[in-house]
A and B are shown apart, each in its own frame.
Chain A
Amino acid sequence: MKQILKDWIIEIVILGAAIVLAVFNPSKVGSALFSATKTYLNLFLVIVAVALLSSFISVTIPKQTIGKIIGKQSGVKGILIGATFGTLMVGPAYMFFPFFKELRDKGAGANIIATTIGAWAIKVAWMPFAITVLGWKFVLLFNGLIFVFAILSGILVGKFFKE
Chain B
Amino acid sequence: MERRNLERREVPLTALRNEETGTVTSIKSGRGRGRGRGWGFEKRLMDMGLTPGTRVTVVKSAPFHGPLEILVRGSRLALGRGMAERIFVETEKE
The reply to whether chain A is a binding partner of chain B is no
Using CB atoms and an 8 Å cutoff, list the residues of chain B in contact with chain A: none
Using CB atoms and an 8 Å cutoff, list the residues of chain A in contact with chain B: none
